[in-house]
Chains A and B, each alone.
Chain A
Amino acid sequence: MAQEYLEFEKPIADLEKKIEELTLFTSNGDINLEEEILKLHKKSDQLRAEIYSRITPWQKAQISRHPNRPYTLDYIEAMMTDFVEMHGDRAFADDPAIVSGMAKLDGMPLTVIGHQKGRTTKEKIFRNFGMPNPEGYRKALRVMRFAERFRKPLLTFIDTPGAYPGIGAEERGQGESIARNLSVMSQLKTPILTVVIGEGGSGGALALGVADRILMLEHSTYSVISPEGCAAILWNNGAKASEAAELLKITAQDLFQMKVVDEVVEEPIGGAHRDPRRAAELLKEAVVRNLAEIRNVPFDDLLKQRYEKLRRIGMFDEI
């Protein structure tokens, strides 16, 4: 996969290009530049750490959508074994923007559901850029009930710009399909763990996100509206997305502070896209640990806690 760079990653890109050139030069000639290359490598690591230590919310939003960022199927492959994909909502179609199925995590069977984006242009179109239609949410619903019936924990991955705004989606009840999942997840008699791995785009994200534990990767975002959408409404100018991103408080760190998510999972320096394997290792550790904590809670307590957690979210004054 070709490495792509975001605007603010340009200095890293330049340095890496230089390293590449020097490496090529060394392998061609007899001048030994190894020391120089090593120095540049160190410098590039430092630069990356520095840049990533002071990223803005808007840059976070861009990282969360980074074209090289690992997607749901990448994490399933890296973290689990024996994945059997389940397709179709049994009513209308199979929506490739959501993947689901059964898998094993360190030998433990569990059910998995996640939004799925595409990597190549062809894949992106096939996956509808990770924007589900109602049949996607209804496939997810089927797998949720499957998880409950066979008493398997449910792990969901969130990574979507949002539910698809289309004519067919409205005809088939996009709103109802999301609402139904919220309702069913809140009462589902099996432990649910949700991880926001990239972009948490509004209701279309939340439709997979009512859970006992919610984790967010360090550079993921979760928001009621995209920064661009918010800027378009506020200033009639989508280009002011960076200001809107600040206002909306969309970063994992913000959500942790607001007690909407339970844990922020560390990513490799420079983001999950720099080292997907390491990112998956870090996430796996957090998933295994959190699942262990909720796995043996009696269902009555689990559902009660799940509800009370939601009930606490919100800020208002009362006289």
Chain B
Amino acid sequence: MAWFKKERPEKLSSETPAKKVKIPEGLWVKCDNCKEIIYRKEVEKNFKVCPKCDYHFRITASERLPYLVDEGSFFEVEDGLSPRDALGFKDYKEKLKSSRKKTGLKDAIISGEAKIGGCPVQLVVMDFNFMGGSMGSVVGEKIARAVERAIDKKTPFISVASSGGARMQEGILSLMQMAKTSAATARLAEAGLPFISILTDPTFGGVTASFAMLGDLILAEPKCLIGFAGPRVIEQTIKQQLPAGFQRAEFLMEHGMIDMIVSRKDLHATLARILEFFTTE
């Protein structure tokens, strides 16, 4: 289990930046939020959620799958797509290489078919550990293909977002993936098929400003950070401290931007209940 070995990516939150704590590999985990030292097994049993403060640890795409779909039902597709350094962008090749090594993934997303509560769905899950979950050509393409698959097979489409935004290293091609993914989900809507978008920590920039906010239903994990502009950019622009709880899931809920906040342990059951609505005549 590698999910707490690494140093946590730089905190996006503007709230009291906590001291960077390196978590030793072993029996104990330190919660990023409440700083309590917790027995590792206890956290794992608890869906990688802090039992003391309900903090939802950031998890990888493959760690998320068992919490999301019916046991053993996930079948990965489109796993042959890998990114290309189309612009000849400084250090991009190296970054891709190290991300691949770190995550075992070719890019920041996995795509496949699965069942939830017995209902077949097309599903994409983003992985923040791969270059901050940034959306470039591969991520955009895999989302578009998953949506098109949903249209062909007449199934719902589900996405799990976790991303810092568009992938700078692919320049304008990344920006255009926002249009591509949004156009694909628009076609899904035209076809009368549902799209459920799940937002996790963190969801920002070009992902928030495209498919992730276009779900017929939008769910979010508790306390996760969601926004268009990053908090630091906003702070620098307005030269003001940001209010407590700014850009947290609860903040979006309050402002009418999402439908519900769902704890990780309840996600599968919640999705099953929602999907049943669409499949029942």
Q: Which residues of A contact B (CB under 8 A)?
A: 163-167, 169-176, 178-180, 182-184, 186-187, 202-203, 206-207, 209-210, 222-225, 230, 233-234, 247-250, 254-255, 258, 260, 306-307, 310-311, 313-319
Contacts and interface: CB of A to CB of B under 8 A. Distances in A.
B22 interface: no
A268 to B, nearest CB: 26
Contact of A224 (B86, B171, B213): B171
Interface residues of B, number: 63
A318 B106 CA distance: 11
Given A203-B209, A203-B210, A314-B138, 6 more contacts: A170-B246, A173-B255, A223-B175, A224-B172, A248-B168, A313-B177
Interface string B216-260: 000000000011111001100110101100110001000111000
Nearest to A314: B137
A176 B210 CA distance: 7
B175 A203 contact: yes
A175 B172 contact: no
A173 B257 contact: yes
A173 B227 CA distance: 8
20 contacts: A165-B237, A169-B228, A173-B257, A176-B213, A183-B183, A184-B186, A203-B175, A203-B206, A203-B228, A206-B175, A224-B168, A224-B170, A225-B166, A225-B168, A233-B168, A248-B172, A258-B86, A260-B172, A310-B179, A315-B170
B206 A183 contact: no
B153 interface: no
Given A170-B229, A174-B228, A317-B84, A249 B186 contact: no
Interface in B159-199: 166-168, 170-180, 182-183, 185-187, 189-190
A260 B176 contact: yes
Contacts of A182: 178-179, 182-183, 209-210
Contact of A171 (B174, B214, B255): B255
Contacts, number: 193
A307 B147 CA distance: 13
Q: Which of B141, B168, B234, B251 has the most CB of A within 10 A?
A: B168
A258 B200 CA distance: 33
Given A174-B229, A179-B211, A203-B175, A249 B81 contact: no
B171 A165 contact: no
A122 to B, nearest CB: 20
B176 A314 contact: yes
B234 A167 contact: yes
Nearest to B232: A165
A318 B230 CA distance: 33
Contacts of B174: 224
